[in-house]
Structure formats: structure tokens, C-alpha cells
Amino acid sequence: SWGKVGNQDGLPGNYLAYGLTTYTRDTPSSPLNGPTVSQSTIGNPDLTWELTNQTNIGLDISVLKARITLRADAYIKKTNNLILDVDLPSSVGEVSNIITNGGKIENKGLEFTLSTVNFERDVNWSTDFNISFNRNKVVDLTYTPTAYFGPIYSNNTNVSIFTVGQPLGLFYGYVAD
């Protein structure tokens, strides 16, 4: 089988294609201050959904009147237009990042299931064994070679690294004894 699907769930909010502003309504304490409008996000009119292509192949084999069944499945799943938060240079101003499509991820996997009917009389006994393997990696990060995620709340330090050629969810930090 083969399929292609778009995903908007990677979007961390609504209206990201538009630059949003924040309005602050302060009571003027002097003629020089009062209500203000400031830019809170930079819009990205080129922002699109993530796109995932997935290919699956499977094989089912039954013997001994279906008392023993083996199922084997393999898949490859490629996600393009990964939605990422890209840091901007400090010269841009108050806004420090922009949401953009800037990466690719690949997942590959195998899954095996062995089912047996061991006993069928007044009491039935069947057994299922399942094992699966999944490997994923970051294939491309368009705007940056590395991205960091997941602050620890006690010290607000990023603990997860997202880098080309490596799997998702890698933790990094200082080596300590």
C-alpha cells in the first residue's frame, strides 16, 4: 500500500502565516506613553502542512489449517515540510523566531507476528508473539544544522537535540561521574 497525508498538528498555533501584533492598553501616566502596538510574531505566507508519504508491504502465511500464522510487515514513512521554529538573528528585533517548513524525517520499520492455536477442546489455548523494530532519523534541517527542544523545568535547560543524520529524541548534556 501507499498513501500521502497532510498534517496540520505540527502547527503550534493558528494564523502563523500572518504577522500578529500585541496591543497593550496602559493608562497614560504622561503625555509620552499610553496604548502600544508591537509585533509578536513574524508571519510566513509560504507555511504549509507537513506532508507524509508512507509505503507498506506485508505478507501473511498460514499452515496446518491456520493453526500457525506468520505475519510480516515492512514500512517506510517520509515526512517532508517539517514544521519547525527557526531562530532569527537578534538584529530582527523583538521577535526571536519564525515558524517555517524546514526539514525532513524518515521512519523505517519491520513488524512480525506469530500466532498459534495450541489447543482446541473444552478449553481453548492460543498464543501470539509480536516483535517490531523502528528506526527514525532526521534527513534534513533546511535552516539550521541542529535544533534543541525540551527544557528541564528546574533550570530551563534544553535537553533534547534534533540534528541531521541522528534519530529523534536524542538527549544531550554534560558527561558526569
pLDDT over threshold 90, residue 130: yes
CA atoms of 21 and 46, how far apart (whole Å): 19
CA atoms of 38 and 24, how far apart (whole Å): 8
Tens digit of each residue's pLDDT (9 = 90 or more) over 78-96:
999 988 878 788 887 778 7
| Neighbour count for residue 145 (Cβ, 10 Å) | 8
The pLDDT score that the predictor gives to residue 13 is 64
pLDDT over threshold 90, residue 32: no
Specify the DSSP class assigned to residue 166.
S
The pLDDT score that the predictor gives to residue 89 is 81
Mean pLDDT of 12-37: 74
The answer to whether the pTM exceeds 0.85 is no
Closest-CA residue to 136 (of 77, 81, 52): 77
Tens digit of each residue's pLDDT (9 = 90 or more) over 137-168:
999 988 877 666 655 555 666 677 888 898 98
